[in-house]
Chains A and B, each alone.
Chain A
Amino acid sequence: MVRPPFRLRALTRKLLRDVWEMKSQALAIAVVVAAGVTMFVTYLSNFDSLVRTLSQYYERQQFADVFAGATRAPAPLAARIGAIPGVVTVDTRVVADVTLDVTGLDEPANARLISLPAAGAPALNRVLLRRGAWPDPSRPDDVVASEVFCEAHGFGPGDRVAAVLNGRRRELTIVGVGISPEYVYSIRPGDLFPDNRRFGVFWMQRAALAAAFDMEGGFNDVSLQLAAGASSDDVVARLDRLLEPYGGRGAYTRALQVSAWTLENELTQLRMFGLVTPAIFLSVAAFILHIALTRALALQRGQIAALKALGYGNGALAWHYVQWALVIAAAGALAGIAGGAWLGARMAELYNVFFRFPMLDYRVSTGVALWSLAGSLSVAAAGALAAVRRAVSVPPADAMRPDAPARYRLSLVERLGVARRLPQAARMVLRTLERQPVRALLSMLGIAAAGAVLVIGLSFIDVMDVLIDEQFVQAMRQDVTVTFVGPRSADAVQAAARLPGVIAVEPQRIVPVRLRAGAHHRTLAITGLMPDASLQRVVARSGAVVTLPPAGLVLSKVLGEVLGVAAGGTVRVEVLEGARPVFDVPVAALVDDSMGVQAYMARDALHALLHEGRTVSSTALMVDPAAIDRLSLTLKALPAVAGVAVREATLRNFRQTMAEHMNLIIAFNVGFAAIIAFGVVYNAARVSLSERSRELASLRVLGFTRDEIGRILLGELAVLTVLSLPVGAVLGYGLGRFIMTIFNNEVYRLPFAITAQSIAWSWLTVVSAAALSSVAVRRRLDGLDLVAVLKSRE
Chain B
Amino acid sequence: MSTSSAPVFVARDLTKVYTMGDVQVHALRGVDFDLSAGEFVVLLGPSGSGKSTLLNILGGLDVPTSGSVIYRDHDLTAAGEAALTEYRRDHVGFVFQFYNLIPSLTARENVALVTEIAASPMTPEEALGLVELGDRLDHFPAQLSGGEQQRVAIARAIAKRPEVLLCDEPTGALDITTGVVVLDALTHVNRTLGTATVVITHNAAIAGLADRVIRLADGRVVSIAHNARKVEARSLSW
Question: Which stretch (A10-18, A455-463, A713-721) binds chain B?
Answer: A10-18
**Extra pairs beyond A311-B92, A400-B61 (10, CB < 8 Å):** A9-B112, A9-B116, A18-B104, A305-B100, A307-B102, A309-B61, A309-B94, A399-B61, A399-B96, A400-B55
Q: Is the CB of B94 within 8 A of A310?
A: yes
A311-B85, A400-B97 known; A14+B102 contact, CB < 8 A:
yes
A1-B121, A306-B102, A310-B94 known; A400+B116 contact, CB < 8 A:
no
Q: CA A87 – CA B89 in complex, angstroms? A: 77
Q: Is the CB of B85 within 8 A of A395?
A: no
A309-B88, A395-B62 known; A400+B168 contact, CB < 8 A:
yes
Set A9, A21, A303, A396: member contacting B102, Cβ < 8 A? A303
Q: Is the CB of A310 within 8 A of B88?
A: yes
Q: Is the CB of A10 within 8 A of B104?
A: no
CB of B156 within 8 Å of the partner chain: yes
Chain A residues 230 to 288 lying within 8 A of chain B, measured CB to CB, are none
0 or 1 for each of A1-36: is its CB under 8 Å from B? (1 = yes): 101000001110110011001000000000000000
Q: CA A312 – CA B116 in complex, angstroms? A: 11
What residues on B are CB-neighbors of A308 within 8 Å?
Answer: 61, 85, 88
Q: Is the CB of B61 within 8 A of A306?
A: no
Chain B residues 84 to 99 lying within 8 A of chain A, measured CB to CB, are 85-86, 88-90, 92, 94, 96-98
A14-B104, A399-B96 known; A310+B114 contact, CB < 8 A:
yes
What residues on A are CB-neighbors of B156 within 8 Å?
Answer: 310
Chain A residues 736 to 794 lying within 8 A of chain B, measured CB to CB, are 793
Tell me the nearest residue of chain B to A4, going by C-beta.
B123
CB of A568 within 8 Å of the partner chain: no
CB of A314 within 8 Å of the partner chain: yes
Q: Is the CB of B100 within 8 A of A303?
A: yes
Q: CA A580 – CA B164 in complex, angstroms? A: 102
Q: CA A1 – CA B85 in complex, angstroms? A: 20
CB of A302 within 8 Å of the partner chain: yes
Q: CA A311 – CA B82 in complex, angstroms? A: 10
The minimal Cβ–Cβ distance linking B64 to chain A, given in whole angstroms, is 12
Q: Is the CB of A309 within 8 A of B59?
A: yes
The minimal Cβ–Cβ distance linking B51 to chain A, given in whole angstroms, is 10
CB of A402 within 8 Å of the partner chain: yes
Q: Is the CB of A1 within 8 A of B88?
A: no
Q: CA A87 – CA B97 in complex, angstroms? A: 89
Q: Is the CB of B116 within 8 A of A3?
A: yes
In which size bucket is the chain A interface?
20 to 34
A residues lining the B interface (CB < 8 Å): 1, 3, 9-11, 13-14, 17-18, 21, 302-303, 305-314, 395-397, 399-402, 793
A308-B85, A311-B85 known; A400+B110 contact, CB < 8 A:
no
What residues on B are CB-neighbors of A309 within 8 Å?
Answer: 59, 61, 88, 94, 96, 100
CB of B105 within 8 Å of the partner chain: yes
A11-B113, A310-B114 known; A399+B100 contact, CB < 8 A:
yes
Q: CA A112 – CA B152 in complex, angstroms? A: 87
Q: CA A402 – CA B47 in complex, angstroms? A: 14
What residues on A are CB-neighbors of B96 within 8 Å?
Answer: 306, 309, 399-400
Q: Is the CB of B82 within 8 A of A313?
A: yes
0 or 1 for each of B54-68: is its CB under 8 Å from A? (1 = yes): 011001011000000
CB of B81 within 8 Å of the partner chain: yes
The minimal Cβ–Cβ distance linking B1 to chain A, given in whole angstroms, is 30
The minimal Cβ–Cβ distance linking B83 to chain A, given in whole angstroms, is 11
What residues on A are CB-neighbors of B88 within 8 Å?
Answer: 308-311, 396
The minimal Cβ–Cβ distance linking B207 to chain A, given in whole angstroms, is 21
Tell me the nearest residue of chain A to B59, going by C-beta.
A309
Q: Is the CB of A312 within 8 A of B105?
A: no
A18-B104, A313-B85 known; A397+B113 contact, CB < 8 A:
no
Q: Is the CB of B100 within 8 A of A302?
A: yes
The minimal Cβ–Cβ distance linking B37 to chain A, given in whole angstroms, is 21
0 or 1 for each of B101-133: is its CB under 8 Å from A? (1 = yes): 111110001101111111111000000000000
Closest 6 A/B residue pairs (Cβ): A311-B89, A306-B100, A17-B104, A10-B112, A397-B61, A311-B88
Q: CA A632 – CA B76 in complex, angstroms? A: 99
Q: Is the CB of B61 within 8 A of A13?
A: no
Show 30 residue pairs from A and B whose CB-CB distance is below 8 angstroms, ordered by the A residue: A10-B113, A10-B116, A13-B109, A14-B104, A14-B105, A14-B109, A306-B94, A306-B101, A308-B85, A308-B88, A309-B59, A309-B88, A310-B89, A310-B94, A311-B89, A311-B90, A312-B85, A312-B89, A312-B113, A313-B82, A314-B81, A395-B61, A396-B88, A399-B96, A399-B100, A400-B52, A400-B55, A400-B97, A401-B52, A402-B98
What residues on A are CB-neighbors of B62 within 8 Å?
Answer: 395, 397
Q: CA A11 – CA B114 in complex, angstroms? A: 10
The minimal Cβ–Cβ distance linking A477 to chain B, given in whole angstroms, is 72
The minimal Cβ–Cβ distance linking B180 to chain A, given in whole angstroms, is 22
Q: Is the CB of B98 within 8 A of A302?
A: yes
What residues on B are CB-neighbors of A1 within 8 Å?
Answer: 115-116, 118-121
The minimal Cβ–Cβ distance linking B218 to chain A, given in whole angstroms, is 20
What residues on B are CB-neighbors of A21 within 8 Å?
Answer: 104
Q: CA A308 – CA B82 in complex, angstroms? A: 11
The minimal Cβ–Cβ distance linking B202 to chain A, given in whole angstroms, is 15
The minimal Cβ–Cβ distance linking A302 to chain B, given in whole angstroms, is 6
Tell me the nearest residue of chain B to A788, going by C-beta.
B142
What residues on B are CB-neighbors of A402 within 8 Å?
Answer: 98
Q: Is the CB of A10 within 8 A of B110?
A: yes
Q: CA A401 – CA B172 in complex, angstroms? A: 12
The minimal Cβ–Cβ distance linking A2 to chain B, given in whole angstroms, is 9
Q: Is the CB of A17 within 8 A of B105?
A: yes
Q: CA A312 – CA B114 in complex, angstroms? A: 9
0 or 1 for each of B179-196: is its CB under 8 Å from A? (1 = yes): 000000000000000000
Q: CA A40 – CA B2 in complex, angstroms? A: 74
Tell me the nearest residue of chain B to A401, going by C-beta.
B52
What residues on B are CB-neighbors of A401 within 8 Å?
Answer: 52
Q: CA A745 – CA B115 in complex, angstroms? A: 64
What residues on B are CB-neighbors of A18 within 8 Å?
Answer: 104
Q: CA A793 – CA B149 in complex, angstroms? A: 13
